[in-house]
Amino acid sequence: MIHLGWFLGAGFGIQPWSEKGGDGLWTGSNVTDWMKPDIYVDLATSMERAGFDYILIEDTAMVEDSYQGTAETSLRRGFMAPKNDPMPLVPLMTQRTKHIGIIPTASVIQYPPYLAARLFATLDHLTEGRVGMNVVTSVTDRVAQNYGYAEHFEHDERYLMAQEWVDVVQQLQGSWKPGAVLADVWNAVYADHTKVQPIDFVGKYFSSRGPLNTIPGPQGRPPIASAGGSEAGRDLAARYDDTMMSLSKSVEEMKEYRLDMRRRVAVYGRDPDAVKFLFLVTPVIAETDAEAQEKKKAMAAARLSDASIEYNLWNMSYTSGGRIDFGAIDPDTLIRDIDFSRQNGENSSVAAIFQNSADLSLREVVATSYQITDLGLVGSPDTVAARMGEIMDEVGGDGFLFYLPTTRRNMAEVADGLAPALRRRGLIRDGYSGTTLRENLLEH
């Protein structure tokens, strides 16, 4: 069975909203309603109808100003700001659904371990076992400065910090042992105090006495997700992840990545089959193959617009951790002549953008390089469904994480066009057998 997820890449933030800004048509009332729950509830009900495992909600907590040394572009275009805290959105999305999981993002520098453990235990109860935790290390100095740091930690140290963070969180989540809750009405005994103990954790980055002051949720420890592509990121995922998003540009890269990660998971004594690796993809779906190809051509042409080029340069600056201002570099500069040693952000994402581009200019990369590709998933629902099956057969599993603009048209194309085509081929679930996110991830 192919597992499916939806990556809400703009988080609980402003969704595609301006035709002139390069977002295109079908943006509806996003410009005024992005902060309301309606479109996110519609997304959840639509993707549940499509049999998706989960929706993963990105998050950032800053107003980015590394591009051209000002926040003007970020605020004029609505890039990563404004953005709301995703946590209160989670129970609203699950209230109208019964099966799909919701995975909000928690940064290790934004959420102290005790706060995170308590918050996700609470969400696990409110969602009846359908919440997961996307663990990130945050990207830029601006985020770090919003939480009391002078600058962000270096890339690899951030992942050592994340390992310790997950360890503390999980110890806190396990501080109420099985059988601790008695709920004995007749003898007026709620909990057995001998089964609720402090953890007394003292580490390099965090310390917490514990125990947690709330009871475990239906999943006990909500599933963990991450997106690391670097060595440090892969190691974190191998230790803890239940599902992981991967950035691969070809079927061969997907295959190599999955084999490598399954080997790493096994090294830590974990079952590789219990971890679902979902590959980021931007499918192009239309009523016919010809229409989809025309749609893809139009999307490629749109990348040459001033609005698209501005976004790509801005995104490159952000992805570097705010350490490289691509808006200040002559666009005719060859990639080989750009100093990337200063970057301290999403190192694997930067590598993906500039992959095999040493002899190209920055101008050429901006117009042609895709951080996330369609992997050949272009065509009618039947064509895309067939190709998805072929890719998964070659890669060996586990599924795809769709990254599309959050519009109701895209939701309908996936839920009411692609999903039925996949279901006719027996490639995705026809109904959910489990009641929790963890159970859905483990379904074969």
Residue 241 lies inside a defined structural domain of this protein: yes
Residue 183 lies inside a defined structural domain of this protein: no
State whether 220 and 353 are in the same domain: no
State whether 350 and 381 are in the same domain: no
Q: Tell me: pLDDT of 382 over 70.
A: yes
Residue 263 domain boundaries:
3-173+207-285+373-442
Q: How confident is the model at residue 23 (pLDDT cuts 50, 70, 90)?
A: low
How many domains does the chain divide into? 2
Q: pTM score > 0.75 for this model?
A: yes
State whether 89 and 124 are in the same domain: yes
Residue 189 lies inside a defined structural domain of this protein: no
Domain's final residue, options 325, 343, 368:
368
- The string of pLDDT tens digits covering residues 161-195 is 999 999 999 999 999 999 999 999 999 999 999 99
State whether 393 and 311 are in the same domain: no
State whether 18 and 65 are in the same domain: yes
Residue 384 lies inside a defined structural domain of this protein: yes
Q: Tell me: pLDDT of 429 over 70.
A: yes
Residue 179 lies inside a defined structural domain of this protein: no
Residue 154 lies inside a defined structural domain of this protein: yes
Domain's final residue, options 339, 368, 397:
368
State whether 260 and 326 are in the same domain: no
Binding-site residue positions for FMN: 59, 105, 155, 159, 230
Residue 190 lies inside a defined structural domain of this protein: no
Domain's final residue, options 321, 348, 368:
368
State whether 158 and 241 are in the same domain: yes
Mean pLDDT rounded to a whole number for the chain: 94
State whether 264 and 361 are in the same domain: no
State whether 296 and 267 are in the same domain: no
- The string of pLDDT tens digits covering residues 302-347 is 888 888 889 889 988 988 888 889 888 988 898 888 888 777 777 7
Q: Tell me: pLDDT of 22 over 70.
A: no
- In this predicted structure, which of 152-156, 232-236, 392-396 has the lowest mean pLDDT? 152-156
Q: Tell me: pLDDT of 368 over 80.
A: no
Q: How confident is the model at residue 125 (pLDDT cuts 50, 70, 90)?
A: very high
State whether 381 and 363 are in the same domain: no
Binding-site residue positions: 59, 105, 155, 159, 230
State whether 213 and 359 are in the same domain: no
| pLDDT value at residue 57 | 98
| pLDDT value at residue 332 | 86
| pLDDT value at residue 348 | 72
Q: Tell me: pLDDT of 21 over 60.
A: no
More confident: 406 or 320: 406
Residue 201 lies inside a defined structural domain of this protein: no
Reduce the secondary structure of the chain to three states and give it as a string.
CCEEEEEECCCCECCCCCCCCCCCCCCCCHHHHCCCCHHHHHHHHHHHHCCCCEEEECCCCCCCCCHHHCCHHHHHHCCCCCECCCCCHHHHHHHCCCCCEEEEEEECCCCCHHHHHHHHHHHHHHCCCCECEEEECCCCHHHHHHCCCCCCCCHHHHHHHHHHHHHHHHHHHCCECCCCEEEECCCCEEECHHHECCCCEECCCCEECCCCCCCCCCCCCCCEEECCCCHHHHHHHHHHCCEEEECCCCHHHHHHHHHHHHHHHHHCCCCHHHCEEEEEECCEECCCHHHHHHHHHHHHHHCCCHHHHHHHHHHHHHHCCCCCCHHHCCCCCEHHHCCCCCCCCCHHHHHHHCCCCCCCEHHHHHHHCCCCCCCCCEECHHHHHHHHHHHHHHHCCCEEEECCCCCHHHHHHHHHHHHHHHHHCCCCCCCCCCCCHHHHHHCC
State whether 138 and 93 are in the same domain: yes
Q: What is the CATH number of the domain that holds 212?
A: 3.20.20.30
